[in-house]
Amino acid sequence: GFFTWISIYGINQTQVQRYLTVKKKSQAVKAIWLNVLGIGSLLLICAYAGLVVFAFYHDCDPITTRQVEKKDQIFPLFVMQVMGDYPGVPGLFVAGVFSGALSTVSSGLNSLAAVCLRDFIQSGCSIQLTETRATFITKMLAVAFGICGYGVVFAVKYLPGVLEAALGIFGIVGGPVLGAFTLGMFFPFANSLGAFVGTFSSLIFTMWMGFGQTVAKAAQTYDGARWSPKMPVSTENCPLAWYNYTVRATKEPFTPFTHLELYEVSYMWFSAIAWAWCVVVGILISLFKPTNHRRLDRRLICPALPSLFAIWPRRVRDWIKNIYDEIGADLEDVTKSNGPGAVNMGYIGEKRKEKM
């Protein structure tokens, strides 16, 4: 989960756009700390709710008795059974689910449209647009991505669960991107070829893991006892009405399918594996033709780089410290006015930018 949250808060486009809405870096840092309090409280509440649901259904599993088909449906069933007789409570629960989903989708569509406009249309195709036309194209792109997202909804029924699919996709996509940023921030000798090969190969590898696991579950060869063990449940105290269901015919596992131990890895590890793969491959590729760190902009390298090797042998620490001190030695100083990232350049006029 650590690498998943780092990729969400560190390099995710939706979060970066929020950071850029403030004038100073200190304001963005303050907003992150306030968000930590909110998301931490939310996770604690969700964890407590999960414990309550497990305690309620530990001796009457609703999945085994066919009351629900997927794990995502257990909590709504719990709400209807416990508080279904209270007017307004089920509706409030549904409203909360929809409001949370819509807020996440809206920010994602906005980010996709902005990235597509800036990186592909304006930068990639070198098309100059007026502010009015750019706004119109952004809205149309958001509509197009929304329609595509609506189409993906029909594929959700084939997934084991929405939460599992969301975290798995975050890990598959966010892990390689986090690895690319790690290469650029902590390894001054990394080059563009190493970052590209590491990111692309990491993406292919983790996609193989993720989709292979989905196919393994459909082929009924997935066990998950080692990486994702399940808590013990039973049906001994279920009401008799819950046993009145039609037993579905057992699906025959399709063949041929070669099950690998790799498919047993939990989706929670996708992000960490993708990050490690990208960093290792990127470093190995970059060593063949390393970038001259003396020509790098010091602001692109993390200031905490020497501190990461504080517990290493003195010779290694001194070597890293010397490399860090040499970064940007042969590069002309671009700006010393406010330090790296102290002020959001989007709030500064063009004339003042030229002076800086």
pLDDT of residue 4: 83
Confidence tier at 342 by pLDDT (50, 70, 90): very low
pLDDT of residue 28: 87
Using CB atoms within 10 Å of the CB of residue 290, give its burial: 0 to 12 exposed, 13 to 18 middle, 19+ buried.
Answer: middle
Highest mean pLDDT: which range of 71-80, 157-166, 199-208: 199-208
Evaluate the omega torsion of the peptide bond into residue 253 and state whether it is cis, within 30 degrees of 0.
Answer: no
What digits encode the pLDDT tens for the residues 106-127? 777 888 888 888 888 887 787 8
| Mean pLDDT, residues 287-310 | 82
What digits encode the pLDDT tens for the residues 39-92? 889 889 988 988 998 888 888 888 878 888 778 888 888 888 888 778 888 888
DSSP per-residue string spanning 147-170: HHHHHHGGGGGGSS-HHHHHHHHH
* Higher local confidence (pLDDT), 156 or 31: 31
Does residue 353 carry a pLDDT above 70? no
What digits encode the pLDDT tens for the residues 3-28? 888 888 888 888 888 888 888 888 88
The candidate with the shortest Cα–Cα distance to 202, out of 179, 186, 181, is 179
| Phi, psi (rounded to 5 degrees) for 310 | -65, -30
Highest mean pLDDT: which range of 13-22, 27-36, 156-165: 27-36
Does residue 351 carry a pLDDT above 50? no
Instruction: State the average pLDDT for the chain.
Output: 80
